């Protein structure tokens, strides 16, 4: 398995993501600059947090037109695992790979703290090592994480089990239905505001994010051995 961490001008959680892959998955991982036009070497594509293009206009609005994004869309269509965290989630929304959009936090404050999450769907390639309804501690760090979608879209997300994480207790940003993370209908694209890559060792205060990475690895191994035996 080879993972790509996409780096946009203004990404700042790329190193955290890279280290999490190295430490937890022990898999080869590369930084891939936003101008790259070939992602065929990668099985897993990770869009890190940060402030791509200074968050000008809207978070993720400019990044989604980077040359690499066409390849990210193709990879998602081909069924590869794509995960966007924080700004990466915002980019996936702007790119239309996930439904909805982000608004300013209702508090108008940048929130940076450990946030308890409920694992709503433990049956995705990204969450299979969790138990359903498990409460986990994952850090958040964002000013625009107030997930919004219209009622029809929300009903679809609920009906298809596309809500993967919800904030438990306090909702730090005012998101619809306490949403912290969603996946696409097929389940191979995940977007989440909290940072699992910043909670992979006990010295980081929480190691609860580790299992996002072990889940991805397990999924890949399973898919890979299935292909080999076919």
Partner 1 sequence: MLKAIVYVTLRESVLDPQGSAVKGALHSLGFDEVQEARIGKYMELSLGTSDREQAKERVTEMCEKLLANTVIEDYRYEIVEV
What span, in angstroms and rounded, lies between the C-alpha atoms of 21 and 83?
12
- CB 196, CB 16: distance < 8 Å: no
CB of 162 to partner 1, least distance (A): 16
Position 111 contacts partner 1 (CB under 8 A): no
86 is catalytic: yes
**Which of 111/128 has CB closer to partner 1?**
111
Least Cβ distance, residue 128 to partner 1 (angstroms): 30
Query: By three-state DSSP, how is residue 220 classified?
Result: helix
Q: Which stretch binds partner 1 (CB under 8 A): 53-61, 113-121, 128-136, 212-220?
A: 53-61
- Of 181 and 196, CB closest to partner 1: 181
Class of residue 9 by CB neighbours under 10 A (exposed 0-12, middle 13-18, buried 19+) = middle
Of 97, 105, 104, 106, residue with least CA distance to 182: 97
Taking contact as CB under 8 A, which single stretch among the options 5-13, 74-82, 101-109, 179-187 is the one that binds partner 1?
Answer: 101-109
C-alpha–C-alpha distance, residues 127 and 216, integer Å: 8
Segment 151 to 190, residues that bind partner 1, using CB under 8 A: 174
Q: Which of 121, 124, 146, 206 binds partner 1 (CB under 8 A)?
A: 146
Angle, alpha carbons 122-226-128 (nearest 5°): 10
Note if 195 is an active site residue: yes
- Minimum CB separation of residue 176 from partner 1 in Å reads 10
Q: How far is the CB of 18 from partner 1 (least distance, A)?
A: 29
**Residue 30: strand, helix, or coil:** strand
d(CA 195, CA 95): 20
Positions marked catalytic: 86, 195, 197
Residues in touch with partner 1 (CB under 8 A): 57-58, 61-62, 65, 94, 99-101, 103-108, 146, 148-150, 174
């Amino acid at each position: 398995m080879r993972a790509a961490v996409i780096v946009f001008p203004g990404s700042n959680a790329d190193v955290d993501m890279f280290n999490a892959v190295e430490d937890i998955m022990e898999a080869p991982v590369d930084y891939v600059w936003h101008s790259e036009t070939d992602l065929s070497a990668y099985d897993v594509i990770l869009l890190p947090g940060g402030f791509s293009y200074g968050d000008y206009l809207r978070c993720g609005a400019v990044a989604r037109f980077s040359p690499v994004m066409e390849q990210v869309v193709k990879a998602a269509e081909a069924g590869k695992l794509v995960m966007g965290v924080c700004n990466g989630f915002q980019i996936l929304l702007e790119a239309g790979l996930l439904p909805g959009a982000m608004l300013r936090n209702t508090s108008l404050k940048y929130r940076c703290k450990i946030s308890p999450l409920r694992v709503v769907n433990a049956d995705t390639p990204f969450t299979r090592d969790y138990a359903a309804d498990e409460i986990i501690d994952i850090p958040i760090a964002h000013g625009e994480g107030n997930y919004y979608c219209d009622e029809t879209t929300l009903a679809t997300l609920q009906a298809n089990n596309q809500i993967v994480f919800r904030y438990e207790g306090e909702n730090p940003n005012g998101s619809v239905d306490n949403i912290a993370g969603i996946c696409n209908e097929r389940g191979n694209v995940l977007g989440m505001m909290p940072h699992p890559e910043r909670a992979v060792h006990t010295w980081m205060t929480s190691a609860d994010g580790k299992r996002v990475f072990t889940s991805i690895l397990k999924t890949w191994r399973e898919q890979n051995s299935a292909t080999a035996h076919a």
